[in-house]
Amino acid sequence: MWEADAKTIEGDFSSGSGTLRQVECTMIEKGKTALSAQANTALYKPKEKAVILQGKVTAQWPAKSTRMSADTVEWLMENKVVIARGNVVIENDQERIEGGFLRADTGLKKIRMTNGD
């Protein structure tokens, strides 16, 4: 499940054409915040059960004390996967990793970072 708060909302989300601007999103799993993020825009794709965040995306995993930034982040809710593209930086208090592409499960148990797609 995901929740969002946005400065403006455009389109029809039930048909999959909605856009949120200046948005803060939260992904909730098992009643707890798994991931929260902020971005310039968010697109919801109900058929794919995906949320696409674009523009100055920042994300936080509170339970893991981990932060990430990227140009674009896609949440695949059904698969519990996060895909980040463009200027990806993921860090915690112990380390910082940079690359062009990241794929991770929302629990950060498996992370793959590369320089490109």
Show the domains of the chain with their CATH numbers: 2-114 (2.60.450.10)
Q: What CA–CA distance (Å, rounded) separates 109 from 84? A: 16
Q: What are the tens digits of pLDDT across the range 63-109?
A: 889 999 999 999 898 898 999 999 999 999 999 999 999 999 988 88
Residue 3 has pLDDT above 80, yes or no: yes
pTM: 0.88
User: Within 10 Å of residue 45's Cβ, how many Cβ atoms?
Assistant: 16
Greater pLDDT, 68 or 5: 68
Q: With CA atoms as reference, report the closest residue to 65 among 87, 90, 89, 32.
A: 90
